[in-house]
Amino acid sequence: MEYKDFIDQEYLDGLVLKDKKSTKEEVREILKKGAEKNGLNVEETFALMQADGDDLLSEIFETAGKIKDEIYGNRLVVFAPLYVTNVCGNICAYCGFRADNKDLFRRTLTMDEIKEEVKLLEDEGHKRVLMVYGEHPQFKVDWIKETIEAAYSVKSGSGEMRRINVNLAPLDTEDFKILKSSGIGTYQCFQETYHRKTYDKVHIGGKKKDYLYRLYALDRAQDAGIDDIAMGALFGLYNWRFEVLAMLQHAFHLEEVYGVGPHTISFPRIEPAMGSDLSEHPPVEISNKDFMKIVAILRIAVPYTGLILSTRENASFRRELFRLGVSQISAGSRTYPGAYHDAKCNKPDMQQFTIGDTRNLDEVIRDVAEHGFIPSFCTSCYRSGRTGANFMDEAKHGHIHTFCQPNALLTFMEYLKDYASEETGKIGYALIEKEMNKMEESNMKKLFLEKLNKTKEGKRDLYF
């Protein structure tokens, strides 16, 4: 495979540096097109970014919220990260795991320790996890596969991990094939910054310095048969407009070559990390207002791509972002190896970054449900073959909504019956009743009610 930068650096830099403002007429015409849920091109997306004034911003937010509701409804998929190791061979200026951070306590979990962490997550109610690995050449793919299989093997009470996604260093194609054989869901790799000069500046040492090798990680994963792939950028390293437009160009590249873009996009902001001066003083400040624009504009530009919101943001701000297009959230997160075992401790000398939302899973679930969102632990698409291009085809024809809403409610009922506090249960059962009453009478509703009653009686893992 020939590696060449498909991000048009000069063109995108020209756009953001020119900083041309958009007229109301331009913005409203683009929003009209966006509402049709066919996505936007780079120029249209940039025009939305350049919208000025509270009235236009409100219209952007309203359009994004409408698109989110029409595609995803009021569902929020819930997961937790599980850090396997904080040993890393890279020196990245923004990261606490950087190889030259002598103050960081390094730890790599054993297989038994991984199983213990998974058990603790299952006992809270989690059904899906993102396993996170430091990027070091000592971690070979066969060992990574063994860690994933260890996590899948844990069954605690009625708990189990039904989908394991991974965030790890780029692999070659043959190693990606081995990774796929472990039964992973999504492979996630962040470019961090797509701006080549900034990338070279903040990646000081290690294999991660190779911009193009990292840029083509998702191509190699696709070539290996991993069709659910996820991308992201770390906001605060360079102009946020450039990063959003570059992610779009990355998504368009994948669609052109493989017929399907990313399953999810993440957009974390830099948070303080021990041993990283840059993280304490990010090169570019991303205001809350601009961050809200990022979420809303991404939802309009790539309407069928999942948008993941991490616990870097605090609880109240996360709540605002749910309505702008977020479809997946982490909850009860901790960001170092062994953190769930150390749940009552805070160990900044081990974590990757500072968490903004420190609530436990039950508190998050209660808050989400109280504001009318359905916490979903559903993994049925992955296990039913609705992945990659198949998922996108179902979603674009509106079929995915048929499965997702009842499946979300079924997994929510599992959580309420098995793990919820009394207060969360009251709110959750009322929400399920409300959602049931909104369903049209049909064979689908009849089947759903049968599965729901079986779930109440103790049956588990029922889905469409």
Cβ burial of 1 (10 Å; 0-12, 13-18, 19+) is exposed
| Helices H / strands E in the chain, number of each | 20, 13
Beta strands in 96-233 (DSSP E): 128-133, 155-156, 159-160, 163-167, 187-188, 203-205, 229-232
> What sign does the CA torsion over 21, 22, 24, 28 have?
negative
The upper half-sphere exposure of residue 26, i.e. CA atoms within 13 Å in the direction of its Cβ, equals 14
CA distances from 418 to 3, 153, 179, 360, 421 (A): 50, 20, 32, 16, 9
Please state, in angstroms and as integers, the Cα–Cα distance from residue 301 to each residue in 19, 195, 257, 290, 392, following that order.
19, 20, 19, 16, 15
pLDDT at 390: 74
pLDDT of 399 reads: 60
Per-residue pLDDT of the chain (464 residues; tens, 9 = 90+): 789 999 999 999 999 998 899 999 999 999 999 999 999 999 999 999 999 899 999 999 999 999 999 999 999 999 999 999 999 999 999 999 999 999 999 999 999 999 999 999 999 999 999 999 999 999 999 999 999 999 999 999 999 999 999 999 999 999 999 999 999 999 999 999 999 999 999 999 999 999 999 999 999 999 999 999 999 999 999 999 999 999 999 999 999 999 999 999 999 999 998 889 999 999 999 999 999 999 999 999 999 999 999 999 999 999 999 999 999 999 999 989 999 998 655 666 667 777 899 999 999 999 999 999 999 999 877 777 777 777 777 677 666 667 789 999 999 999 999 999 999 999 999 999 999 999 999 999 999 999 999 999 999 999 88
Type of residue numbered 192:
E
**pLDDT confidence of residue 381:** 75
Alpha-carbon distance of 324 to 277, in angstroms, equals 32
| pLDDT tens-digit series, residues 240-267 | 999 999 999 999 999 999 999 999 999 9
Q: What is the pLDDT at residue 337?
A: 95
Q: For residue 213, which of 262, 169, 243 has the smallest C-alpha distance? A: 169
pLDDT of residue 387: 77
Residue 350 pLDDT: 67
Query: What is the per-residue pLDDT for 400?
Result: 63
User: Which one, of 54, 36, 1, 4, lies nearest residue 396 by Cα?
Assistant: 36
Q: DSSP string of 361-416?
A: HHHHHHHHHHTT-EEE---HHHHTT--HHHHHHHHHTT-HHHHHHHHHHHHHHHHH
* CA distances (Å), origin 228, targets 184, 290, 403: 9, 28, 18
- 10 Å CB burial of residue 370 (0-12, 13-18, 19+) is middle
- At 170, give phi and psi (nearest 5°): -55, 140
Nearest CA to 311 out of 364, 349, 373, 377 is that of 364
Residue 171 CA, chain-centre distance (Å), reads 20
Closest Cα partner for 445 from 405, 396, 412?
405
**CB 338 within 8 Å of CB 117:** yes
**Residues 228, 381: Cα–Cα separation, whole Å:** 11
Is the separation of the CB atoms in 249 and 8 below 8 Å?
A: yes
Alpha-carbon gap, residue 174 to 214, rounded angstroms: 16
**Alpha-carbon distance 30 to 12, whole Å?**
19
Q: Are 229 and 222 in contact (CB under 8 A)?
A: yes
Sequence-distant (6+) residues with CB within 8 A of 234 are 94, 190, 192, 193, 268, 269, 270
Cα 284 from Cα 116, distance rounded (Å): 39
Q: Can you read off the two tokens belonging to residue 113? A: 């320790």
What is the set of domains in the chain, with CATH numbers? 69-385+387-392 (3.20.20.70), 398-456 (no CATH)
Q: What angle do CA 106, 111, 90 make, to 5 degrees?
A: 35
What residue type is 188 in one-letter code? Q
Residue count of the chain: 464
pTM over 0.85: yes
